[in-house]
Amino acid sequence: MTKLRDLPSVEQLLQTQTAAELIARFGRPLTLTAIRSTLDEARARFKLNPEPALPSIDLILAQTESALAAWTKPTLVPVINATGVILHTNLGRAPLSAATIHAMDVVSRGYSNLEYDLEKGTRGSRLIHAESVLQKLTGAESALVVNNNASAVLLVLSALANRKRVIISRSQLVEIGGGFRVPDVMKQSGAKLVEVGTTNKVRLSDYQSAMENPTALIMRVHPSNFKIIGFTEEPELKDIVETAHQAGIFVVDDLGSGALLDTAKYGLAHEPTVQESLSAGVDVVCFSGDKLLGGPQAGIIVGKKVLIDKIKKHPLARAVRADKVCLAGISATLLHYLKDDAEREIPIWKMMSLTLKQVKGRAEAWKNELGQGNVVEGESTVGGGSLPGESFKTYLLSLEVKSPDKFLKKLRKQHPPIIARTENDKVLLDPRTVLPEQEGALLVGLKNALK
């Protein structure tokens, strides 16, 4: 009669060659934990049903290996974006340029002069590393990089408007991804929210009336993830700035998407640029590093030196500061704009500047390689909370399969996973957002899924 004591002991299992190999791969402590867990599961099953034979040593070790593989499998993995959404928030937004990846790799491999002045041989400041590039690129007097744009806005308001009034249009009280709401962040900063105008209409006179009481800031939030159309009115930024400055009030512009190039060049609506805000006289501009800038996640603050200096000294600045890898990556990305090679080197701008002929050629090459499918016209979008409602023409590989949902699931199980979309019971793949170096893996994954 089979008894629980017939199960091999932990020590017996550790004496095997398989266990030695698992220890070499996963380390002794984790392997021990996995063996004990596997034995505990075997005991629990036996107590519920003692009829089946106890697992063999080989089976126990195989189950242990499966557990170890599952425990150590990374949850964050590269995927192939065939959706046609260039800045896909769920897929990590902007892919990085080769120079940006290289800069981040080099600085993370060892020590760096993050906070060390090589000239003086004394302690330095991490705040200088991207500042000079931003000054040259935007014409701003000063600049600061933090870990994301939400924290940039929170820091600016905390440093410049704690317990003070901040005027903002009702049309700009937006919510972005993850439930982040402008009114909530203003409240968190200690600023006193003063709403002016209506949802669809705000006039310069609304701002002027609100400025009759002592006010620290006027804040403009660019509604980058939605549009208000129809019966609308909004004063020009330069007029808001002029009116505010006459009253001795500073203006902060939260641009969000961080465009440094004119998106209208690619057949899209014009997205307000950082340079335009500064030219309009805005005192502080905040924007993202990983949206239309095309770099790693960061929040960037540029503007008047007297204000940026105050922001840098605020205690919250340390809590949201950027690390060495982010600073290296942002600096390398910004250099592309400074050297006028952003279109050639930054992946999102390369995607936007692809001609229809180039996109169609790639879709046709995929069709020929697979021996099935159709090349059809379609739409790509920018995404990432930028240019809402805007799209531009593309060509898609359309696949007709028995169950589109099941096929998408098969694609997600490939290595690397492939993310596509469906429309009218067809699976659609957009070459615009598939990186050239991923095409081989894409075709292998498609062939596997089509079998």
CB 255 within 8 A of CB 222: yes
Instruction: Pick 80-89+350-450's CATH classification: 3.40.30.10, 3.40.50.1110, 3.40.630.30, 3.90.1150.110.
Output: 3.90.1150.110
Beta strands in 127-249 (DSSP E): 142-146, 165-169, 175-176, 180-181, 192-196, 217-221
Write out pLDDT tens, residues 317-360.
999 999 999 999 999 999 999 999 999 999 999 999 999 999 99
Q: What angle do CA 317, 146, 289 make, to 5 degrees?
A: 165
- Give me the mean pLDDT over the 139-153 stretch: 95
| pLDDT given for residue 385 in this prediction | 65
- Residue 448: is its pLDDT beyond 70? yes
Beta strands in 147-283 (DSSP E): 165-169, 175-176, 180-181, 192-196, 217-221, 250-256
3-class SS at 45? helix
Whole-Å CA distances, 348 to 79, 196, 335, 353, 403: 16, 36, 16, 9, 32
Write out pLDDT tens, residues 254-292.
998 889 999 998 888 888 999 999 999 999 999 999 999
| Domain boundaries along the sequence of the chain | 7-72, 80-89+350-450, 96-345
Residue 314 has phi, psi (to 5 degrees) of -70, 140
> If you search the block for the tokens 């200096």, which residue do you land on?
309
Convert 180-217 to b/e letters by CB count within 10 Å (16 or more is b). eebeebbeebebbbbbbbeeeebebebbeebbeeebbb
Write out pLDDT tens, residues 365-413.
999 999 999 999 999 999 876 776 678 899 999 999 999 999 999 999 9
Residue partners of 310: CB distance under 8 A and separation at least 6: 159, 160
Q: How far apart are CA 94 and CA 100, in angstroms?
A: 12
In one-letter notation, the amino acid at residue 24 is: A
Angle between helix axes 131-138 and 324-338 (nearest 10 degrees) is 30
Whole-Å CA distances, 416 to 65, 86, 371, 419: 22, 18, 22, 10
CB 135 within 8 A of CB 285: no
Strand-pairing partners, residue 175, are 181
| pLDDT given for residue 179 in this prediction | 61
Convert 357-387 to b/e letters by CB count within 10 Å (16 or more is b). eebbebbeebbeeeeebebeebebbbbbbbb
pTM for the whole structure: 0.90
- Residue 230: is its pLDDT beyond 80? no
Query: If you compute the radius of gyration of the chain from its CA atoms, what whole number of angstroms results?
Result: 28
Q: If you average pLDDT over every residue of the chain, what do you get?
A: 92
**Token pair listed for 99:** 């120079």
Q: Percentage of the chain with pLDDT > 70? A: 95
- Residue 7: is its pLDDT beyond 90? no
Q: How far apart are CA 54 and CA 4, in angstroms?
A: 8
| pLDDT given for residue 1 in this prediction | 60
- What pLDDT band is residue 228 in, cutting at 50, 70 and 90? low
Write out pLDDT tens, residues 418-446.
999 999 999 999 999 999 999 999 999 99
- What pLDDT band is residue 49 in, cutting at 50, 70 and 90? confident
Q: What angle do CA 142, 147, 150 make, to 5 degrees?
A: 90
Write out pLDDT tens, residues 85-117.
999 999 999 999 999 999 999 999 999 999 999
User: What CATH fold (topology level) applies to the domain 96-345?
Assistant: Aspartate Aminotransferase; domain 2 (3.40.640)
Same fold, 80-89+350-450 and 96-345: no
DSSP 70-123: HHHS-S----EE-SSEEE-GGGTSPPPPHHHHHHHHHHHSS---TTEETTTTEE
| pLDDT given for residue 224 in this prediction | 57
Q: How far apart are CA 299 and CA 182, in angstroms?
A: 16
